[in-house]
Structure 1
Amino acid sequence: MMTVCSFDFYIKSRNRNFNNLNTTKMKSELIKSPGLVKNANRRQFLKRGTLSVAAAGLLLVGCSDEDDPIPMNPGVNLGSGDTGILNYAYALEQLEAAFYAAVLEGGYFANASAEEKTIMGDLEKHERAHREFFKAALGNSAIENLEVNFGSIDFNSRNSVLAAAKTFEDLGVAAYNGAGQFLENPDFLLIAGKIVSVEARHAAAIRDLINPGSDDFAGDDLIDSNGLERTLTFSEVLTAASSFVTTPIDFSQLPS
């Protein structure tokens, strides 16, 4: 059974090319929403970058009986232009939100320290908020819910969960960094900048959990000699994500 969160946050656009996107409302919601993270140490670090959107109820989607034929999955097409790039971000946020939802149901989380439970709970809220933000912003242009496969992750193992979290968070930051240059609407670029700053804080927090007290939060594998974070192309990101996403994703209309 797959768990999907739904949230209504409808907006309209000032730009005739993006009828389902209201950037004024999007920015307004970002400014007025309260933080999701409240307390000490790593939580304070996360709090400064929190992008808060109200939470929603869970919608359970059932699977077909094993005896029934398995339908072909035609996949999703991200589209083109800014809409395609926002769908790209939406796909990644779906993946991250699904991952942290699974973390909260696993043995690692059940036996984790109070601090790590708080951190993981906050990350789940953030990624769920990001996902629902893009879903509502895209409206009828949003891709469908992706099917994920986390069979390679042991959710009872701290090492396995944190290694996967590191992969997802680092990938998310590099993805936003690579995609931002192609956004034409400056309002979308502003919002992407706010979200990627939160993702970067997530990545740093996870790396600190893995190697506390080290400089791994800004390691040489992330930051180049000019002090700039790495970027990845659409193809590189989706190829890496394909290990965990079973829904075929057509990104052929995105810029290269």
Structure 2
Amino acid sequence: MKTETQNPYNANMARRAFLRYAGASTAVAGILAMQSCSKDNSAYEEDGSGGGSSTVDVGSGDTGILNYAYALEQLEAAFYIQVVNSFASDFNSDERALFTDIRDHEVSHREFFKAALGSGAIKGLTPDFSKIDFGSRTAVLNAAKTFEDLGVAAYDGVASKIQNPDYLVIAGKIVSVEARHAAVISNLRSQGSFVDSDQVDGDGLNITLGPTKVVAAANLYLKTKISAKSFNF
């Protein structure tokens, strides 16, 4: 009797569908993003507000936490925009579709925080991706893992400090999508690695990072540096 093997293409398509449905959980973010973004390439360019090389403090309280998340989402969105605009030649068609879906999610997240913060939002940040070889699939996947793992650990590290329960609910919805991204990216790097020990501890809980470590890691990829010195924790 012939044993059937899993079609890798079908497995990849299942992951792509998984990401699409994950994006639906951030419905609020999507609605706000649709009001300010179209689906053409120009909609995914940086917002042009400039950043330069100055340092921006995210502020304190819930506004500071939202700006902290907004800064990380700006970084992720800018990264995926560049990936999609100049795919490495060794990405296959389904991987390109996956990265396009992730880009759309990250842009929605960025636009959600920008709209939610209104006049309290920090300015647009200028990324520095000079350390990343966008012509290499391996380099892009490694960078994507860095950004996704950092984002999940950062959200988990400040969630307990959020005072407004509505903000906490939205943060929970967004970080759940970021965790899905992290799992998919990790699996693309190495099959079956979606729950690697470098991100999940022995109790099955995601590893968290405090603002000091997160800011230091994010600033490696930012011309406009961020600071969380105003956080009182």
* TMscore range, shorter length: 0.7 to 0.9
Instruction: Pick the aligned partner of 1:146 from 122, 125, 133.
Output: 125
Flag the structure with more relative contact order, 1 or 2, with Cα contacts below 8 A and sequence separation at least 6: 2
Instruction: Specify the alignment match of 1:117 in structure 2.
Output: 96
**Which structure shows the higher helix fraction?**
2
- In structure 1, the residue matched to 2:222 is 245
Q: Is the 8 A contact 1:97 1:131 kept in 2?
A: yes
SS of residue matched to 1:252: coil
> TM-score, normalising length from structure 2?
0.84
- Segments of 4+ in structure 1 off by > 6 A? none
Q: CA deviation at 1:61?
A: 7.3
In the alignment, which of 184, 193, 201 is matched to residue 205 of structure 1? 184
Residues 148 and 113 of structure 1, relative CA distance in 2, 3 Å threshold = same
1:44 paired to 2:36? no
Change in 2 beyond 3 A, CA 1:72/1:120: closer
1:103-157 Cα offsets, whole Å, 9 max, x none, are: 012241x552111011000000000000000001000000001111100111010
What is aligned with 2:3?
Answer: none
Q: How far off its partner does 1:220 sit?
A: 1.1
Task: Please say if residues 154 and 214 of structure 2, whose CA atoms lie closer than 8 Å, have aligned partners that are also in contact.
Answer: yes
Encode CA deviations 1:3-47: one digit per residue, 9 max, x unaligned. xxxxxxxxxxxxxxxxxxxxxxxxxxxxxxxxxxxx931112213
Structure 1: 5+ residue runs without aligned partners? 1-38, 65-70
> How many Å separate the matches in 2 of 1:246 and 1:210?
28
Native 8 Å contact 1:203 1:217 kept in 2: yes
| Distance 1:60-1:99 versus aligned 2 partners, 3 A rule | closer
How far apart are the structure 2 equivalents of 1:107 and 1:252?
37
* Matching residue of 1:160: 139
How many matched pairs? 209
| 1:184 maps onto 2:163 in alignment | yes
- State the secondary structure of the residue aligned to 2:160: helix
Contact 2:152 2:178 in 1 (8 A): yes
What corresponds to 1:27 in structure 2? Answer: none
Query: After superposition, where does 1:1-256 map in structure 2 within 5 Å?
Result: 40-50=13-23, 51-52=26-27, 53=30, 54=34, 55-56=37-38, 57-58=43-44, 73-108=53-88, 111-212=90-191, 214=192, 216-256=193-233
Q: Contact 2:45 / 2:81 at 8 angstroms: preserved in 1?
A: no
Q: TM-score, normalised by structure 1?
A: 0.76
Amino acid at match of 2:20: K
CA distance in 1, matches of 2:162, 2:214: 17
Mapped to 2, the partners of 1:221 and 1:73 lie a distance apart of: 32
The one-letter code sitting in structure 2 at the alignment partner of 1:239 is A
The share of aligned pairs that are identical, in percent, is 49
Q: Deviations over 1:203-222 (max 9, x none)?
A: 0000111112x2x1011111
Judge conservation of contact 1:182–1:255 (CA < 8 Å) in 2.
Answer: no
Partner-residue secondary structure (3-state), 1:217? coil
Contact 1:103–1:161 (CA<8 Å) still a contact in 2? yes
**Matches of 2:63 and 2:22 in 1, distance apart?**
25
CA deviations 1:166-220 (Å, max 9, x no partner) are 00000000000001010000110000000000000000000111112x2x10111
